[in-house]
A and B are shown apart, each in its own frame.
Chain A
Amino acid sequence: MIRGVIIMNDQGKPRLIRFYEFQPVEKQQELVRSIYKILCSRAENVSNFVKVDSLFGPDVRLVYKTFATLYFVFIFDNSENELAMLDLMQVFVETLDKCFSNVCELDIVFNFNKVHTILDEIILGGQVLETSSSDVVMAVEDISKLEKNSNSIIPSIPGWQGR
């Protein structure tokens, strides 16, 4: 099972935090800080996997990758294939790239709830839901349309401006 997905920037500022097992808000911050500390101290040219039993319990690992100024982190237990997690992260990033056309940190900051929606189309309850990024993009576009067309009270929907 995937335990959580975190995006943070290279300063350790969280940009997206999603845990699939409830964590109180203070604990979330603590985990983000500890993970940031781990990632900062990783040399280049080393594997992308880190054992994090001390933070999450036995056999829990995380995989991370840096994209421009951002760290993407997936936390998962031993029922997941490490190499597949790496591919899944690739799918997630590709999808973001398609949805925001050349995603950058600011897109994620200002549209964090759209990013959550995208993530929800890829991972549900800690399980992989969909791995085809074109399917995900389609689903997200449908939701976008629905957002725009719905006769909501206010026309501008928070965090859905997109590009």
Chain B
Amino acid sequence: MNPFSSGTRLRDMIRAIRACKTAAEERAVIRKECAAIRAAISENDQEYRHRNLAKLMFIHMLGYPTHFGQMECLKLIASPGFPEKRIGYLGLMLLLDERQEVLMLVTNSIKQDLNHTNQYIVGLALCALGNICSAEMARDLAPEVERLLQFRDPNVRKKAALCTIRIIKKVPDLAENFITPAVALLKEKHHGVLLTGVQLCTDLSKVSTEALEYFKKKSIDGLVKVLRDLANSPYSPEYDISGITDPFLHIRLLKFLRVLGQGDVDASDTMNDILAQVATKTEANKNAGNAILYECVATIMSIEDNGGLRVLAVNILGRFLSSRDNNIRYVALNMLMKAITLDSQAVQRHRVTILECVKDSDASIRKRALELVYLLVNENNVKSLTKELIDYLEVSDPEFKGDLTAKICSIVEKFSPEKIWYIDQMLKVLSEAGNYVKDDVWHALIVVITNAPNLHGYTVRSLYKALQTAGEQETLIRVAVWCTGEYGDLLISNAGLLDVEDPITVTEADAVDVVETALRRYSSDLTTRAMCLIALLKLSSRFPSCSKRINDIVRYHKGSFVLELQQRAIEFNSIIEKHQKIRSALVERMPVLDEATFSGRRAGSVPAVASTSQGDPPKIPNGVVKPASAPLVDLLDLSSDDIQAPASSGGDFLQDLLGVDVSPATSQGTNQTQKSGTDVLLDLLSIGTPPAQSSTSMLDILSSSQDNKSSVDALGKLAPSPLAQASSPVESSPAMDLLGGFGTSQSVSVTNGPTFPAIVAFESSSLKVTFNFSKEPDSPQTTLIEAQFINKSPNVYSNFLFQAAVPKFLQLHLDPASSNTLPASGNGSVSQKLRVSNSQHGKKSLVMRVRINYKVNDKDVLEEGQISNFPRDL
């Protein structure tokens, strides 16, 4: 006989599948088998129907489609024999979905089986119903299930109880019918029935307040008694799990008490004693006992406050933490996380144990413990906790260091009592795990450093020392390089020496060494190297004695294969060699970085800067006016990215400020400046040429790098830097004129609220749509559009409907149209107002898809089109 005919036994089919060596072979076997089963189905073969369905279930488990077998389930369920019914119901549960209409057909068979004389068949029907029952079935069959709750056989009663849970979840209205029979189940002696009965009552309380009130009034005392009897019951082997009597029933009872006690002082009072008894008497040396304790703790935490019990509960959790079983520690940490909101004092007492769990060998426990520690930190314990965590950082697993550093940094930032402590801790973290620190963290550190002028010297000296011992931590190097560039002079002079530090002897050459080493370091990435070049440029001015050496290093990098470095090197080299006059002004200390703006940026919102492009230019802290236009901000060494997307959230403020943008995303931004910014810049240069002192040199720089596309922008970053200084009102120089003229012209054009020409947005042979634009003065991102629709045909359009869709960076609001009838031949028009907000204002132009529906001579007409001829800068 062909082994793959439908006559194959199930066992043989499984063997054949198991014998397959490749997936293709397996597919072939299953294809053949399915074909045979389909053939048997279409021949209405009865003899092997249940065997075929059993095969289909196996095939289904392997992930192959089996929908063609669904009707077979129904046929088997309707057949009289028990084996057929069993397989039929199993198929129903595994292969069918409650949403499928086929289920409607099975309701009647289930109804008959629920009334069957054979209790096992009743059991099969209840089981299937409990697993797949739909709302319709629930309504149809609820009376049968209700009756079965009182069936003589306990096995049927318990199945009926769980089946009821499914029914009341599907149709909560039915809950009240079940309250009385459910209460009866609570008096059961049979553990299985009692277990399901308690579960049913719990679920009833969740879907019906009526049921909840009823149980609160009538059942609590009974439940407390059941729990007490259970807790005190002698050994009953049947339900015993490792020496504990029926932990499942314990747990279900505790859970139900929790539902009843929540928000009810009287109910909570009634159960206090038994909870205390369970919490103290249950043996905790086995998993089953701990499961009960765990549930008991959850209940104590949730019911109305009883201080004593809560302390007891938290202490149980504390004991769990020192358990040798990972699972117990795991659940204890989860529960403590909830407990901390209720009674953080009690949890604080276990701080030491929790801290130990941060060092656990199980990663998931470590992670939870760390989260918990994070929640435990407050002003009082921040120093000791941070110290512990930083100490642990040294020995922790590499894969845990990322999480750990992130949390430490967050704690330090959030609770730091003073700046010097913050800087100290951050330096420790950077020295220990600098490679795991995220960019925004060290950016934040730099912001804090610039804001603490009395600590500049201390910081740069500490960094210098740290670098001697931990020279391989990328972010430490970056911060050190940045600070050396900015505050290198303080490093040498030991200026601003604090009481706590010892003076160190560092020569100018040593400081340059630091930067040079970082630059030459094999594993330094592009950002670090670019930062090094800037630092060198700054040092060349701070340390005239090293200028020659620095120039040599810079010149060496003129040959760099990395465009960014090459470009910087060329520009810096030119500054050092040819522009001594402007150099010192160019490399002055960075202005103090604005903490508020930075933290706002970090949080992803940009409150002030969003409106930068229009209106009053916001002040930046050092008093230099932050101009509204892209090129000018570039002068301040801000990257163009900052301006290009003022509203884009998460823009990396500090990175911009540092002028170290080399990430691909930013270079994109730079290219965009190219488009919109180049002509302005060239304008600036040409306007500036006659009066500017340094005009020739500027042109020099320009010519030296003209071929390089993006260098025009870089020029903006570098060369006119002194001009930025000049823009402060104190100084006056020819350059200021140049800049002032430029700055105002730019902002004037914007603040005056430019007018935009109307456009013909859409035109077809039958219809013309024009758009008029206006802006509200204070919200440049928003454009008001008045659309006018004109009917070019000789027929009236009725049911006129205009719809529009915009891409994600836009927001569109449509007001109703003035009419939905469009008169014929342009005799009047319909207008409609639209309001569009452009989140990428200044970066992207508006674009819109439109669809216009109307009826002409009783025929529906649909016109569609895309509008992309919006004026720029909307």
A162 interface residue (CB < 8 Å to B): no
A134 interface residue (CB < 8 Å to B): yes
A46 touches B18 (CB 8 A): no
Tell which of B241-249, B541-549, B723-731 binds the partner. Answer: B241-249
Knowing A134-B238, A142-B120, A157-B83, the reply to whether A127 touches B162 (Cβ < 8 A) is: yes
Contact with B along A66-103 (1 / 0, CB 8 A): 00000000000001011110111011000000000000
B58 touches A112 (CB 8 A): yes
A150 interface residue (CB < 8 Å to B): yes
Knowing A84-B291, A143-B120, the reply to whether A46 touches B362 (Cβ < 8 A) is: yes
B466 interface residue (CB < 8 Å to A): no
A132 touches B295 (CB 8 A): no
Tell which of B220-228, B321-329, B769-777 binds the partner. Answer: B321-329
Q: Which of A46, A109, A110, A125 contacts B363 (CB 8 A)?
A: A46
Which chain B residues border A51 with CB–CB below 8 Å? 364
A153 touches B195 (CB 8 A): no
Q: Which of B99, B155, B163, B239 contacts A125 (CB 8 A)?
A: B163
Contact with B along A12-31 (1 / 0, CB 8 A): 00111110101011101100
Contact with A along B346-377 (1 / 0, CB 8 A): 00000000000000011111000000000000
A124 touches B54 (CB 8 A): no
The prevalent SS among residues of A at the interface is mixed
Which chain A residues border B97 with CB–CB below 8 Å? 22, 24
Q: Which of B14, B199, B328 has the most CB of A within 10 A?
A: B14
Shortest Cβ distance from A59 into chain B, in angstroms? Answer: 10
Q: Which of A25, A128, A134, A142 contacts B66 (CB 8 A)?
A: A25
Knowing A143-B120, A158-B87, the reply to whether A17 touches B61 (Cβ < 8 A) is: yes
Which chain B residues border A45 with CB–CB below 8 Å? 326, 361-362
Shortest Cβ distance from A126 into chain B, in angstroms? Answer: 8
Shortest Cβ distance from B586 into chain A, in angstroms? Answer: 51
Which chain A residues border B57 with CB–CB below 8 Å? 112-113
Which chain B residues border A116 with CB–CB below 8 Å? 90, 94
A139 interface residue (CB < 8 Å to B): yes
A81 touches B291 (CB 8 A): yes
A135 touches B63 (CB 8 A): no
A10 interface residue (CB < 8 Å to B): no
Which chain B residues border A139 with CB–CB below 8 Å? 155
- Chain B residue nearest to A45 in the complex (CB): B361
Q: Which of B54, B62, B120, B294 contacts A146 (CB 8 A)?
A: B120
Shortest Cβ distance from B214 into chain A, in angstroms? Answer: 21
B364 touches A49 (CB 8 A): yes
Which chain B residues border A34 with CB–CB below 8 Å? none
Which chain B residues border A26 with CB–CB below 8 Å? 63
Which chain B residues border A129 with CB–CB below 8 Å? 158-159, 162, 192, 196
Q: Which of A17, A22, A25 has the most CB of B within 10 A?
A: A25
Contact with A along B842-874 (1 / 0, CB 8 A): 000000000000000000000000000000000
B192 touches A47 (CB 8 A): no
A81 touches B295 (CB 8 A): yes
Knowing A87-B248, A143-B86, the reply to whether A124 touches B127 (Cβ < 8 A) is: yes
**In the complex, A151 Cα to B298 Cα: how many Å?**
52
- Chain A residue nearest to B206 in the complex (CB): A79
Which chain B residues border A128 with CB–CB below 8 Å? 195-196, 199, 248, 252
Tell which of B44-52, B174-182, B819-827 binds the partner. Answer: B44-52
Q: Which A36-58 residues sit within 8 Å CB-CB of chain B?
A: 43, 45-51
A124 touches B162 (CB 8 A): yes
Q: Which of A86, A124, A132, A150 contacts B130 (CB 8 A)?
A: A124
**In the complex, A61 Cα to B410 Cα: how many Å?**
28
B282 interface residue (CB < 8 Å to A): no
Q: Which of A25, A117, A150, A156 contacts B9 (CB 8 A)?
A: A156
A83 touches B63 (CB 8 A): no
Which chain A residues border B192 with CB–CB below 8 Å? 129-132, 135
A91 touches B66 (CB 8 A): no
Shortest Cβ distance from A65 into chain B, in angstroms? Answer: 10
B331 interface residue (CB < 8 Å to A): yes
Contact with A along B229-255 (1 / 0, CB 8 A): 000000000110100001111011001
**In the complex, A90 Cα to B244 Cα: how many Å?**
14
Which chain A residues border B131 with CB–CB below 8 Å? 20, 124-125
Knowing A142-B120, A150-B82, the reply to whether A47 touches B163 (Cβ < 8 A) is: no
A127 touches B98 (CB 8 A): no
B18 touches A109 (CB 8 A): yes
**In the complex, A45 Cα to B363 Cα: how many Å?**
10
Knowing A125-B130, A128-B195, the reply to whether A87 touches B241 (Cβ < 8 A) is: yes
A90 touches B241 (CB 8 A): yes
Q: Which of A17, A50, A120, A154 contacts B51 (CB 8 A)?
A: A154
**In the complex, A14 Cα to B62 Cα: how many Å?**
7
Which chain A residues border B199 with CB–CB below 8 Å? 127-128
Question: Which residues does A use to contact B, with CB under 8 Å?
Answer: 14-18, 20, 22, 24-26, 28-29, 43, 45-51, 79, 81-84, 86-88, 90-91, 109-110, 112-113, 116-117, 120, 124-125, 127-132, 134-135, 139, 142-143, 146-147, 150-154, 156-161
The 7 A-B pairs of least Cβ separation, nearest first, read: A83-B291, A125-B130, A47-B326, A29-B63, A158-B10, A158-B54, A47-B330
A-B contact pairs, 7 of them (CB 8 A): A22-B98, A45-B362, A47-B329, A109-B18, A132-B239, A146-B82, A147-B82
